[in-house]
Copies of this chain bind each other. A is one copy, B any other.
């Protein structure tokens, strides 16, 4: 504790952990329950996870580079949160639904959302807009925590549709909503927990406590342990080492199962760290020290998977090269795509404001079309 003053209320609270930072198994018997839940996780699964986490990290690097070269206006970096995202999203099934925040690149990727489409927002060509129905991933919003209520309402809809506790594992569905430690302070998150609890809605609240909300540390954000927030609303909760992909997977799997089976919501606090800046506009040196960054880099989630694979004898350079190669190709395609993304037509701003004709919208659209025409004709020029 003494050497990690920036870690708010962390050490004392029980935290599920199955793999130690050095890749060896955590043999603490208090986590037997969770260990048993993921006995089926074999080397192939570990390799899949490694690949997903490596791609996620590469995406982060590539998007950051694209921002640096002016191709993107902004990017929200997720480096360090790979285990939290990949471990949890792999606990979702095709019929489940995800409500992400703005940093869930790994989640989107695993659900099949083309990440290049996520970058539309950061290139300023649209406000997002991937195919939500296809991937069962809803649009994110930059308004912190507003989506926690949408997720809860959506889960109430699934409940009403009779798709909970049917007994058929391919039918039963649940919702997972991602948000940060800062988001827990907004009234909406509390209201969402309460609505979910009262309705016993099938929704899992997955909080990535990455220690920071921009420049504000946990010590100024809440009086923890944050994980207990759920219990205050009658929502079961669990805290997990968010950099341990196996532990994250175990707790999320259990929570999603419970939700699908009619057991109601769960609140998960995944303790992790945002290794990068809040966004490419941010400068963490203004508010945090390198000691903290070092502490967490020793607990890097990707390295832990590599170590685990090594320990299992499932790591080899060929595999590593394969994944690196795939990541290179992925990054190259991303670059090409982003650079090719042109300016949308200005008239697009008038589209889809309403689903049915609205006179003010139509009048302005028409006026603008005429104005653009005149400008093009040189009449409006001064």
Contact = CB atoms under 8 A, between A and B. Distances in A.
Contact of A234 (B194, B222, B234, B235): B222
A41 interface: no
A169 interface: no
Contacts of A200: 223
Given A185-B194, A190-B187, A191-B187, A223 B234 contact: yes
Contact of A187 (B188, B223, B232): B188
A233 interface: yes
A336 B221 CA distance: 52
A88 B95 CA distance: 52
Contacts of A221: 198
Contacts of A186: 187, 191
17 contacts: A187-B188, A194-B222, A197-B222, A198-B221, A198-B222, A198-B223, A200-B223, A222-B234, A224-B234, A228-B231, A228-B232, A228-B234, A229-B233, A230-B232, A231-B231, A231-B232, A232-B232
Q: How many copies does the complex hold?
A: 2
Contacts of A224: 234
Contacts of A197: 222-223
Contacts of A228: 231-232, 234
Contacts of A232: 228-233
A161 to B, nearest CB: 21
Interface residues of A, number: 23
A222 B191 CA distance: 10
A220 B191 contact: no
Interface in A99-150: none
Nearest to A228: B232
A221 B198 CA distance: 7
Contacts of A230: 232
Interface in A193-244: 194, 197-198, 200, 220-224, 228-235
A22 to B, nearest CB: 33
Contacts of A223: 194, 197-198, 200, 233-235
Contacts of A187: 186-188, 190-191
Given A187-B188, A228-B234, 16 more contacts: A187-B191, A190-B190, A190-B191, A194-B223, A197-B222, A197-B223, A198-B220, A198-B222, A198-B223, A200-B223, A223-B233, A228-B231, A228-B232, A230-B232, A231-B231, A232-B232
A130 B197 CA distance: 40
Given A185-B191, A187-B186, A187-B188, A222 B233 contact: yes
A216 B223 CA distance: 31
Nearest to A230: B232
Contacts of A233: 222-223, 229, 232
A187 B194 CA distance: 10
Nearest to A190: B190
Contacts of A191: 185-187, 190
